[in-house]
Amino acid sequence: MTILSVTITLFLLMDSPGNVPIFLSVLGRLEKTRRRRAILREITFALIALLLFLFFGRTLLSSLGISAPALSVAGGVVLFLVALRMIFPGQYGSLTEGTDPDPWLVPLAVPLVAGPSSMAYVMLIATQEPDRIGDWALAIVMACVLGGLTIYTGDLLRRWIKDRALNLIERLMGIILVVIAIQMLMNGIGQYVQTLSTATP
């Protein structure tokens, strides 16, 4: 693996282009300066989370007794709840409504940008080639910079996106997030079943 290949893989796992409408929906009530500051803050949180998992992920999960399948299932549950609020704002509360239009860490930084798949990937590369941990840290920084630029640039689209279109985007992205959440749940359950089958004599 090279730094470039790891950077590209992480960028794809973060799905920054797909997260642009979600960031616009969640942070839609903030004024421009505060909204862009919030985008940079959430990308920084995601960077810190990935670096923590790179250096301490396996140790942390093993000490807490948390498995990779459990991480995937937890991420799926959080995304599913977020998706329900996006699709049915009248019943579950819209992500763009409420007393706090500027959520910290969840759900933007984690699990949307730094999700279970990217966390598991950085733990994997750290385990496979631990002597190149500095290279992988650089790759994570580069991927987050690219992802942050993508989302930050996407904020410029707000001048052409009206409220009705933003609400439509929010519901469409909610439907997509439901599918992603279900896939995360299925992956986590599948991995857990596989560990049970391999453990059975």
pLDDT over 60 at 96, yes or no: no
Mean of the per-residue pLDDT values of the chain: 80
Indicate the pLDDT class of residue 92, thresholds 50, 70 and 90.
very low
Q: Write the CA distances from 22 to 64, 109, 128, 184, integer angstroms.
A: 31, 12, 34, 18
- Residues recorded for the chain: 201
Predicted confidence (pLDDT) per residue in 6-56, tens digit: 998 888 888 777 788 788 778 877 888 888 899 999 999 999 999 999 999
Nearest to 19 by CA among 113, 131, 138: 113
DSSP letter (8 states) at residue 137? H
pLDDT at 2: 92
Tokens 């049970």 correspond to 196
Q: How confident is the model at residue 155 (pLDDT cuts 50, 70, 90)?
A: low
